[in-house]
Amino acid sequence: MDAIQGTARRIRPDEEPFAWNIPDDWSRAPWLQRTLADAGFGERVEVKQIDGGMSAGSLDELVDNIMCGKDMFFGKYSEEEVSKIPAVLKEEIKKLSAYYEDGEGVGIKMESWVAFATK
């Protein structure tokens, strides 16, 4: 999202970029654990951090993939503005600390919480 929002800010600096407005809690482990505990699982909930991420054979491919969501992220942009997105997005992705290149291509590291709850 940082790269997408960074891209949006560079192309339309006066407009608030697209965002999913969900509560901050919804991406935190204690919230996940508590929600499942309260649902009936009680103390039989374990939360682990598992890291993964986006990956593609090249940065161009990764940008092409993300552009599949352009109607969501950049829905009201003109054709001219949309044409600028790939190059700007590529620069914004490369700025990310989570961005990497390796022998298999490129990627953006992402972190997740996974809860295992036993009934």
* Residue 23 · residue 104 · CB < 8 Å: no
Only segment of 8-16, 82-90, 99-107 that touches another protein (CB under 8 A): 99-107
- Rounded distance between C-alpha atoms, residue 43 and residue 62, angstroms: 41
Amino acid at 17: P
- Minimum separation from the CB atom of position 91 to another protein (A): 18
Among 14, 68, 76, 80, binds another protein (CB under 8 A): 68
Q: Which is nearer to another protein, 43 or 68 (CB)?
A: 68
Only segment of 8-16, 55-63, 76-84 that touches another protein (CB under 8 A): 55-63
- Minimum separation from the CB atom of position 45 to another protein (A): 9
- Minimum separation from the CB atom of position 31 to another protein (A): 8
Residue 39 as a binder of another protein (CB under 8 A): the answer is yes
Q: Is 76 exposed, middle or buried (0-12, 13-18, 19+ CB in 10 A)?
A: exposed
- Minimum separation from the CB atom of position 75 to another protein (A): 8
Residue 85 as a binder of another protein (CB under 8 A): the answer is no
* Residue 108 · residue 93 · CB < 8 Å: yes
* Residue 36 · residue 48 · CB < 8 Å: no
- Rounded distance between C-alpha atoms, residue 56 and residue 102, angstroms: 11
